[in-house]
Structure 1
Amino acid sequence: MMRLTFPRVVMVLTGALLLTYAFAIAPTTTSERRSGAATAEAKAPRPRGPFPPAEKTFIGVMTDKGPHDFTPVDSFTAAAKRSPQVMLFSEGWASATFDRTLFDRIRDRGMMPMLGWEPWDYRLDERARQQKLTAQEIDRIRSDQPSYRLSRIAGGEFDSYVRSWAEGIKSLGYPVAIRFAHEMNGYWYPWCELVNGNEPGDYVKAWRHVQDVFRAAGATNVAWVWSPNVRYTDLTPAISTYYPGDDYVDWVGVTGYYGKYDFAPYLSFDEVFKKTITEIRTFSKKPMVITETGASDHIGRKAEWIKDAFQTLPRYPFIIGLIWFEVNKELDWRIVSSPAVSTAFADAVAAPRYQVTWSPDVFLRTKD
């Protein structure tokens, strides 16, 4: 017969407690942990999308105030009777540093930020305009900026600056678009290969280098938007010569306006865009965005042009967005320019095709 001593009693009680924990308490705790993990997983935000959905086209806006002042956006929204889903704003390399608040202000209004990222000193252009120089003189001054020559960008001289933006955009945690060095086929910007001491092939090298810096920084929440201007003449180089390749482009864009032309009193949406769109589609099948457009009313046909434009868009199912230039600059491109124009725009974007919602948890559609 085993004599019960105090040490043995302690051992027995300890063993009993351990068995009780193993068979009763521990399974409950583990179950609670698993349940809690499952709940946390269920609550974790999952990407919604794609943006925009198939057979939909988003409406965007660009103003001269950008996210610094939303008054023009509010006026645009009231006239359109709906909120835009994308806001394009510009920042120039000479003075702009990454500022998260600009992106968050746009996000907080339910719009995706699209950064027009411009490697130049835009202040030279502003000063030239203030001096009331001719258009030719302004173009010469703004395009002659050797400090921002494409070879310097491709050569890494701006890498620390580019990296600071890459790290900042990565930290946003939601998708944005970047339209880098747009209208590269025009002679009015210093990143055109026809001016500023640039050489053929320099644009593609610069584009790829900038994007490689972003990739190295892990900034993968970006849709890269390559955006030439419409071609008005065949005398300029083929647009394909500036294309960085599908591996470096998510959306292709195109800029074009119905304004005041010397050679035609009126140009329809197709007359402005079709030739260039057709050319681009020969070398890229990426989704397309009309990255800038607007219409003037110099002969009283602005409302007609808007109606025609939005009736024409569905013929191009690969066009996933249109950004309106809501600015009174040189000509009044705004939809608030008259009640008739506002009504035409509101009626057009009321169609189901343009009923789109953006939110920070979407993923961006990068295929047709």
Structure 2
Amino acid sequence: MRVTAPRVLVLLCAVVLCWYTFQVAPDVADRGRRAAAARADAVLPPTTRLPGAEAARHATAPFPAPGKAFLGVFTSQGTHDFTEAADFARGTRHRPQVFEFSADWAHDRFDAKALDRVAARGMMPMVAWEPWDHREEAEEPKLRGEQPAYRLSRIVDGDFDAYVRSWARGIASLGYPVAIRLAHEMNGYWYPWCEQSNDNGRGEYVEAWRHVHRIFDAAGAHNAVWVWSPNISYTNSTPLRRLYPGDAYVDWVGLSGYYGTAGKENYQSFEALFTPSLEELRRFTRKPLVITEVGATDAAGRKAEWITGMFRALPRHRDVIGVIWYQAVKEIDWRVGTSPAASAAFAAGASAARYQQRWEPGGAPRLR
């Protein structure tokens, strides 16, 4: 083959492209990740000293203290990237006291270092612990809850006991409390642990919850804080009382609710969204309440107004001891900082004395 100028040029371009793809681009991306991590660490530095496992058994100071409530953050990035949490803290001028992240039973093994990364930044870890394979999530909403491998009966029958026990032993080895938000939004149909889906039977959710709880007790994981967290009730949702494992198996009761989800695009205040479900819960339990997921759309330009209304309403609900904002993009951009007005509204609400308490690893979860 003759050597020609066009062929030499093509070869040089190929060499440069390979060099960029395998040498330059990864280095640039890695530098970007390191810079983002450095910015996050500047806002949420890992400075908290973590106690030994024995300390968790003797924790006394309640969190949050009577008359106080915490403000936390739930990100899609999880424990390996605190950028979204740092953006939340920077925009709201409030350091979140609780950090929530998801872990599914198909892929996420217990990782003490991951939880330590959260606790070392002065945030109590809350694990949204999900018995399914999220990578196999169906696109059709009605099929999201269909994963036969994760039927409730399999949990009850002990098919996942080895996995559950590994987490129980891991949690027990830590020197601070970890909130376990097991199988949330169970009153809907969109997860495999919902009784409305996956050929699950009535009563199996409670059986599965109690089974997992007993494994943790047997492992000595008494620093686990059990968070039973349904979605706000809606037409045709499963009645909450029917799914409640009982006060002996629950420490905090949670609720998920958003302004702007499909079917709820019209403006609804915090009170309108949450009060009916809060009243329903109070018919069968007096456990402390946590809003474990909340967010608001800015599609109609009313996000700041909604946030202001939320902070105005919260003091009327003294049994709500915490609120966790969903700081992520999922169908809708739920992050606080979608507008300067929304960030300012949250910063103004979070500045109240009620939310000014640091989380300390040696503290005990408030149970009354």
CA contact (8 A) 1:120 1:145 kept: yes
| Alpha-carbon offset, residue 138 of structure 1 | 4.1
Name stretches of at least 5 consecutive residues in structure 2 with no aligned partner: 1-54
* Cα distance between partner residues in 2 of 1:119 and 1:175: 21
Aligned equivalent of 1:110: 122
Superposed CA RMSD = 1.4
Q: Which amino acid aligns with 1:61?
A: V
Aligned equivalent of 2:15: none
Matched, 1:309 2:310: yes
Matched, 1:223 2:225: yes
Cα distance change on mapping 1:63 and 1:263 into 2, 3 Å: closer
Matched, 1:299 2:300: yes
Aligned equivalent of 1:18: none
TM-score normalized with structure 1 length: 0.83
Aligned equivalent of 1:285: 286
Q: Which amino acid aligns with 2:133?
A: D
CA contact (8 A) 1:181 1:191 kept: yes
| Alpha-carbon offset, residue 336 of structure 1 | 1.2
Cα distance change on mapping 1:262 and 1:173 into 2, 3 Å: closer
Aligned equivalent of 1:27: none
* Cα distance between partner residues in 1 of 2:91 and 2:118: 19
* Cα distance between partner residues in 2 of 1:265 and 1:193: 29
CA contact (8 A) 1:260 1:298 kept: no
Trace 1:261-272 onto structure 2 (pairs within 5 A): 262=263, 265-272=266-273
Identity %: 54
Matched, 1:120 2:132: yes
Cα distance change on mapping 1:262 and 1:243 into 2, 3 Å: closer
| Alpha-carbon offset, residue 48 of structure 1 | 4.6
Trace 1:127-146 onto structure 2 (pairs within 5 A): 128=138, 133=139, 137-140=140-143, 142-146=144-148
* Cα distance between partner residues in 1 of 2:262 and 2:207: 34
* Cα distance between partner residues in 2 of 1:306 and 1:243: 30
| Alpha-carbon offset, residue 109 of structure 1 | 0.5
Aligned equivalent of 1:86: 98
Aligned equivalent of 2:208: 206
Matched, 1:60 2:72: yes
* Cα distance between partner residues in 1 of 2:66 and 2:250: 19
- Structure showing greater radius of gyration is 1
173, 184, 188: which one pairs with 2:190?
Answer: 188
| Alpha-carbon offset, residue 170 of structure 1 | 0.4
Matched, 1:47 2:59: yes
Trace 1:344-355 onto structure 2 (pairs within 5 A): 344-355=345-356
Name stretches of at least 5 consecutive residues in structure 1 with no aligned partner: 1-43
* Cα distance between partner residues in 2 of 1:352 and 1:100: 33
SS of the residue 1:191 aligns to:
coil
Aligned equivalent of 2:110: 98
Q: Which amino acid aligns with 2:270?
A: F
| Alpha-carbon offset, residue 80 of structure 1 | 1.0
Cα distance change on mapping 1:260 and 1:159 into 2, 3 Å: closer
| Alpha-carbon offset, residue 209 of structure 1 | 0.1
* Cα distance between partner residues in 2 of 1:47 and 1:236: 38
Aligned equivalent of 2:331: 330
- The total of aligned residue pairs comes to 313
CA contact (8 A) 1:291 1:323 kept: yes
| Alpha-carbon offset, residue 262 of structure 1 | 4.2
Cα distance change on mapping 1:84 and 1:263 into 2, 3 Å: closer
* Cα distance between partner residues in 2 of 1:60 and 1:276: 21
